[in-house]
Structure 1
Amino acid sequence: MTKTRKNPLGSGLMMFWADIERAHILRYQEWHNCEHIPERVSIPGFRNGRRYRSFDHDAQFVMFYETDAPSIFNSEPYLKALNNPTPWTKEALTYFREPVRNIYELINCKGGPAEFVSPYLATLRFNLQTSGEEELLAAYSDIWLTALCDLDHVTEARLYQVDEEISSIMTSERKIYGGGPGQQKYLAFIAADRPFEEIGNPIMAASEKIFGDNSGRIDEFTNLSWLEISHEKTSDK
């Protein structure tokens, strides 16, 4: 039986990958937990903020915010926050290394909603071969997402496309951490309720089932991570 959401999924997503200087990880976590995520989630149009930690590199973190629409990331309240960072934010952003930050718009979603915030997350940034890209995108946004959700313990699978214009906006915060948008056009977002070392890599399993040895993907970057913190908006006040 197909589940239906109590609240429709918003179409906007900001996702940020970064390594954090090891000597400052605890300070970074305190800042992100106690000031930064609550500040961001309080902005109109924001729904939640979460942070995951990489399995392969324990100083690498995946941070994201879900919003009603991508345009929220170009709204006056959000840009005001980006251009007026708090003293703690100015400090914390100097600990970021190899940052990649993108704004995305939802293409399609399968599965969900989970009973609880997904404790495990796989992300895949990628491009598609230009030859046959339209057909490949149709397959990725439909049968590939379905194949992911058919796997045991995968609770939700989404496909996003980058918003290049909003991702490229220069702000005071970006000048501090020095990063920008990645080179990949698409993002797969796969939520799971068990560790990947137990269930395997869902990206590989679904890709082999649907595409065999020719996935059509290029410029891939995969991250498997586990949940550290989640703040949900509980009031519109």
Structure 2
Amino acid sequence: MLAGEAAVAIWNGVTPEGRAEFYAWHLHEHMAERVGIPGFRRGRRFSAVDATTHPEFFTLYEADTMQVLQGQDYANRLNAPTAWTKRATQGFRDTSRGLARVLASHGVGPGGVMLTLRFDAAPGAISTFAALVAKAATAARVTGAHLLITDDAASNVDSAEKQGRNDIAAPPAWIILAEATDAEALAPLFPDAELRAAGAIAAPQRGTYRLEFTRLKTAWGA
């Protein structure tokens, strides 16, 4: 199960010349800073398992509640980006970031690979998607499956960290995450036809990512 009732889900690519700085910054400053915010519980970064998954990176921050993501402590960090943050994010490409409520979360724990699905659907489809997520969590070698819905207003709040960036796309409306011991266990989950029948408006953006790094709760001083 996810470690909280809300999450920040971020997909991004990075330029070849920005890759080394991205890794150094993300490992040694940024994830520690984010997980140090009161109410943030865990940060995990994943990278694409192959070239069919785009963009290359997926980062998930799990938080106590949606109020944490809309609160002053997080806003203070977004509006006071470090010099390293400003420099590292210049290499970002194809970024999509959603502040989301966790509607359903099932499973026994975190897995080594993550399937992400981004899509639009009618608001009344929550119960149908929740049932699909609950079923997926019982599949062989699947360790968890989760349904999230993005808060569009919260996700699109302007901040100093966004200033001067042209890599940021619209946040996804709906998100399904499934995690497992291996990518093969995730491959048969949530076929497009099943999601369309459940209420998805179009085929989802699908990606499969392997876990690179986990950061648990830290003390952080700006």
For the pair 1:230 / 2:214, whether they are aligned, the reply is yes
Equivalence for 2:118: 125
In the TM superposition, what are the counterparts of 1:11-22 in structure 2 within 5 Å? 11-22=5-16
Deviations along 1:146-204, whole A, 9 cap, x unmatched?
2212211111111011111110100011124331532x32110111112x1x3351434
Does the 8 Å contact 1:90/1:173 carry over to 2? yes
For the pair 1:201 / 2:187, whether they are aligned, the reply is yes
- Cα distance, 1:108–1:81 mapped onto 2, change above 3 Å: same
- Cα distance, 1:200–1:69 mapped onto 2, change above 3 Å: closer
Equivalence for 2:173: 185
Does the 8 Å contact 2:178/2:186 carry over to 1? no
Instruction: Report runs of 4+ in structure 1 exceeding 4 Å deviation.
Output: 234-237
Equivalence for 1:81: 77
Equivalence for 1:70: 66
Structure 1 distance, partners of 2:170, 2:195, is 30
SS of aligned partner of 1:13: strand
Does the 8 Å contact 1:174/1:180 carry over to 2? no
| Larger of the two Rg values belongs to structure | 1
Select the residue among 143, 163, 176 that pairs with 1:175.
163
Equivalence for 2:48: 54
Equivalence for 2:87: 91
- 1:70 is displaced (CA, Å) by 1.5
For the pair 1:35 / 2:29, whether they are aligned, the reply is yes
- 1:74 is displaced (CA, Å) by 1.8
Identity of aligned residues (%): 25
Select the residue among 26, 36, 59 that pairs with 2:20.
26
- 1:231 is displaced (CA, Å) by 0.3
* Structure 2 segments unaligned to the other structure (5+ residues): none
SS of aligned partner of 1:17: strand
| TM-score after normalising by structure 1 | 0.83
SS of aligned partner of 2:22: helix
- 1:41 is displaced (CA, Å) by 0.7
Equivalence for 1:137: 126
| TM-score after normalising by structure 2 | 0.88
Deviations along 1:28-85, whole A, 9 cap, x unmatched?
0110000000011111001011110012338710012110012212211211111111
Structure 2 distance, partners of 1:119, 1:190, is 11
Does the 8 Å contact 2:100/2:150 carry over to 1? yes
What is the root-mean-square deviation of aligned Cα atoms in Å? 2.4
Deviations along 1:82-139, whole A, 9 cap, x unmatched?
1111111010010001110110001111222x2xx421001101112x4xx52x3211
